Amino acid sequence: MKNTSISCGQKQNDVRLMLSEKLFLTYGRKPLCYIHSYGCAQNVSDGEAIMGLLSDCGYGFTDSTDNADLVILNTCAVRENAEERVFGNIGELKRLKENNKNMVIAVCGCMTQQQHIADRIEESYKQVDIVFGTYGAENLPKMILDVLSERKRVFCLDRTGDTISENAYRLRTDNIKASVPIMYGCNNFCSYCIVPYVRGRERSRETEPVVQEVESLVKNGCKEVTLLGQNVNSYSYGFVKLLQRLNDIDGDFRIRFVSSHPKDAGHELIDAILSLPKVAKHLHLPVQSGCNEILSAMNRRYTKEQYLEIVDYAREKCPDFSFSSDIIVGFPGETYEQFCETKEFLKRVKFDNIFSYVYSKRQGTKAALLPDSISDKQKGLWLRELILEQREIATQWLSRFVGKTLVVLPDGKGRTDKGYLVGKSDENIIVEFEGDEKLIGQFVRVKIIKAMNWALLGEIDK
């Protein structure tokens, strides 16, 4: 693999200026960029930072690859089938490129941070001009300049540059809700997970820039800020202290955060959630399995009993406390009996929502080396069983809100009936209610009249 070195000495502002000129000479108009970010909220946030950088260079944006001069696929590496989908999408771009010789195609993100993926693109997808990983996005203007000036391909996978988008200006398209990264990378090395390999070790943003960013968002009308990190509880400058600082910001807004790791989430966090009025009363706490042997094989470093202790503490203080979680079904070596322990665990905790997946083998992780005798088809059946179980639990458990009034932030029209709006409550539950579109983006008190298996139905509490 030939890496084209990026000149670090060249001032980035000069490069942006040079690119702006080159773009005008090449296209004779404002060039358009299409960017698609796959996967998690962190990746979407990285995509917003890339958009911020490109808008500084003179790019506009389009929702279609058909009229795009620059196409960026910002990829995710967490699941194998998502990776194959990206290769399919890259393949489809070949035809567009044949009709537009000045089109530039870039692939970046977690997937391309893996050398074998970058090699595959270099060998088999010649239409791709630029490949970079989770580092070095600040060099994108120079990469585009090199492609347009010299028609050479640029591959930049080193980890020495500033990490993608830390403290970068983000071009956000949603005025109501915004994500704010507070840390990058992960130190935990759960045995199934590729993230520490592609995003590196934990790095926290300092508190002041985070506070300033949230202040500015709130001043501009943002109503919900979600703090992002692979494990926000290990934020270097104290996560609870950060929540307190953000809670002190003037304005009518709420604070969410993802994700927490059960080994680091304790009573102090629950107390903060319950005592700070702007922090949403919900905790997304990925458990992954309800079986201790599997948790140990996953290197999660907590037991189901320790997890339950957090749940019980929260529910003792606030019986309606809302938890959601992530579950992996069919981890290598998992037996049906162990899977059933997870189903029992769901009944015990009563999550309002779970995100469940069949285990996906990731090259380079420890779990990828474990023997795995259960077929994908069988795992698919287990997953279905788990989803049905959870649906029943959630329908019953959500009914605790019937007759109560929740504060909802509607962000769009309801999916079914005309005249209905949809949004999430403080407890992170989807709520539909009849209301005027003018209410979108405002907090509304909604009295709950019915629990469905995934959401609540309510009416405005007058």
Q: How far is the CB of 367 from ligand SF4 (least distance, A)?
A: 11
Rg (C-alpha) for the chain, rounded Å, is 23
360 binds ligand SF4 (CB under 6 A): no
Total residues interacting with ligand SF4, rule: CB under 6 A: 10
- Which of residues 201 and 462 has its CB atom nearest to ligand SF4 in the complex? 201
d(CA 449, CA 420): 14
CA 135 to chain centre: 17
76 binds ligand SF4 (CB under 6 A): no
- Which of residues 142 and 304 has its CB atom nearest to ligand SF4 in the complex? 304
Give the single-character DSSP code of 6: P
- Which of residues 193 and 406 has its CB atom nearest to ligand SF4 in the complex? 193
- Which of residues 178 and 186 has its CB atom nearest to ligand SF4 in the complex? 186
d(CA 197, CA 200): 6
Each residue 182-211 as x (binds ligand SF4 by CB under 6 A) or -, in order, gives: ----x-xxx--x-xx---------------
CB 286 within 8 A of CB 326: yes
Q: How far is the CB of 297 from ligand SF4 (least distance, A)?
A: 13
Q: Rounded to 5, what percent of the chain is helix, strand, coil?
A: 40, 20, 40
429 binds ligand SF4 (CB under 6 A): no
CB 359 within 8 A of CB 370: no
261 binds ligand SF4 (CB under 6 A): yes
d(CA 365, CA 197): 9
Each residue 394-423 as x (binds ligand SF4 by CB under 6 A) or -, in order, gives: ------------------------------
d(CA 253, CA 223): 4
285 binds ligand SF4 (CB under 6 A): no
CB 161 within 8 A of CB 130: no
CB 324 within 8 A of CB 428: yes
Q: How far is the CB of 129 from ligand SF4 (least distance, A)?
A: 30
- Which of residues 46 and 427 has its CB atom nearest to ligand SF4 in the complex? 46
| Counts of helices then strands in the chain (DSSP H, E) | 13, 19
Write the CB contacts of 370 (distance below 8 Å, at least 6 apart in sequence): 191, 297, 332, 333
Each residue 129-168 as x (binds ligand SF4 by CB under 6 A) or -, in order, gives: ----------------------------------------
230 binds ligand SF4 (CB under 6 A): yes
- Which of residues 347 and 366 has its CB atom nearest to ligand SF4 in the complex? 366
27 binds ligand SF4 (CB under 6 A): no
By CB atoms closer than 10 A (0-12, 13-18, 19+), residue 27 is middle
Q: How far is the CB of 191 from ligand SF4 (least distance, A)?
A: 9
Provide the binding-site residues for ligand SF4, judged by CB under 6 A.
Answer: 186, 188-190, 193, 195-196, 230-231, 261
